[in-house]
Amino acid sequence: MNASATTAYGGGFTDPAVDSARAFRAAMNVMAKPGEIRDLATAQPPAPLSPAAGTLLLTLCDPETGVCLAGACDTPEVRGWLAFHTGAPVVGAAEADFAVGTWAELLPLDRYRIGTPEYPDRSATLIVEMDALEPEGATLRGPGIRESAQLSLPDAAALAGNAMLYPLGLDFFFTCGGRVAALPRSTAISEA
């Protein structure tokens, strides 16, 4: 009975309380276990957002979180959809709590807030839209990983540089279609 993304504002959660709790659980688990890939495609956002990125935005954003729509994501349809479902304001990269776009659109990384020594949580979380998301490539080690994990990262060197900033730095979700993985700042990255 829920409208698809073809209608303006369509494709939101059918049952917001249950859907957002499930999506939050998935987002929390991938962030707790870097390298793990989960399915997350409850929402059907307008193009070019992927279902996983749209579901993350619906789950994590509210009127108090600024969202930066990078590059091709910044369309009137996406802005209207985000405003209707979350009320989140669209802001520039320097004030953003969340930023969404492809890796190339999101660069350079030093535009985003990395937190302060007193409040390392005042940092941005980047939702990176990927063409492919596979458990191969760069090697991840750190909290939440038993031995090591592998994940196809867009730019392992830049992400390793972000991990060097710990306890400051950015956190990342990687989305591809209806799948999501995450990389917190606490994960050490080495090239495969």
Closest to 126 in 3D by CA, of 96, 86, 152, 165: 96
Q: Which is nearer to other proteins, 81 or 173 (CB)?
A: 81
Q: Which is nearer to other proteins, 12 or 66 (CB)?
A: 12
Q: Which is nearer to other proteins, 7 or 148 (CB)?
A: 7
Q: Which is nearer to other proteins, 10 or 178 (CB)?
A: 10
Dihedral-angle region of residue 113 (phi above 0 means left; psi in -120 to 50 means alpha; beta otherwise): beta
Min. distance of Cβ 7 from other proteins in angstroms? 4
38 contacts 29 by C-beta, under 8 angstroms: yes
Min. distance of Cβ 171 from other proteins in angstroms? 30
Amino acid at 175: T
Sign of CA dihedral 89, 93, 99, 102: positive
Min. distance of Cβ 5 from other proteins in angstroms? 11
Closest to 133 in 3D by CA, of 21, 32, 24, 35: 35
Would you state the structure tokens that stand for residue 167, as one six-digit string? 């306890």
Interface contacts to other proteins, rule CB under 8 A: 1-3, 7-10, 12, 14-16, 84-85
Min. distance of Cβ 116 from other proteins in angstroms? 33
